Amino acid sequence: MNRDMMKSLVGKIVKIDRGGPDSRIGKLMDVYDDHLVLLTEDDGVVYYCTHHIKSVTENAKDQLEFDIEVPEEFEFKKADSFQGMLSSLMYQWVKINRGGPEKLEGVLGEVANDYVSLINKEEIVRLSMFHIRNISYGLKVEKPEEDVEGQQEHRNGSGKQKKDK
């Protein structure tokens, strides 16, 4: 994807890929030479390696749902390269390739030029750098309490019901 075109979408709500397990809707926070930063409702900050992105859909008519107010002081990890981003996440619990059969999670133990190692329970998984589509480390924007309660009432019907005696 063209970096200048992607830069023009920073701050907007976009959908990465059309569908499938790695497709996500979120606010495009930043774009670098080989990766971008997307803030999603469910997964928090997700870093996408751009050579794996097939399409980007702009939220032209507010059709994409995104219900998070991003605080002014919200900060996320930044790096000039995807490998630099991975290095900044060493020794943290991460989720790699968030959807589909190749999703992994664990502590990021090593970042080499062509692979990373992930530690989960008794396993050390070495994953080719080329096959990392996206990664997240749990940074999220918390929704205000009244929003959470309102959504819960909406899911449960009309909220609390009075019982007749």
- List pLDDT tens digits, range 82-115: 999 999 999 999 999 987 788 999 999 999 999 9
What is the spatial distance between Cα 139 and Cα 131, in angstroms, rounded to a whole number?
A: 23
> Whole-model pTM?
0.81
- The 10s digit of each residue's pLDDT in 112-141 is 999 999 999 999 999 999 999 999 997 777
Residue 160 lies in a domain: no
What is the spatial distance between Cα 27 and Cα 24, in angstroms, rounded to a whole number?
A: 10
Domain count along the chain = 1
Residue 50 lies in a domain: yes
- The 10s digit of each residue's pLDDT in 5-63 is 999 999 898 999 988 888 899 999 999 999 999 998 888 899 999 999 999 988 777 76
Residue 140 lies in a domain: yes
Is the per-residue pLDDT at 154 higher than 50? no
- Residue numbers of the domain that contains 54: 3-67+76-152
> How many angstroms from the chain centroid is the CA of residue 54?
16
DSSP, residue by residue, 116-152: EEEEETTEEEEEEGGG--EEE-S--PPPPHHHHHHHH
Q: What CATH number is given to the structural domain containing 80?
A: 2.30.30.600
Q: What is the mean pLDDT of residues 61-68?
A: 72
Q: Which helix (H) or strand (E) holds 38?
A: strand 35-40
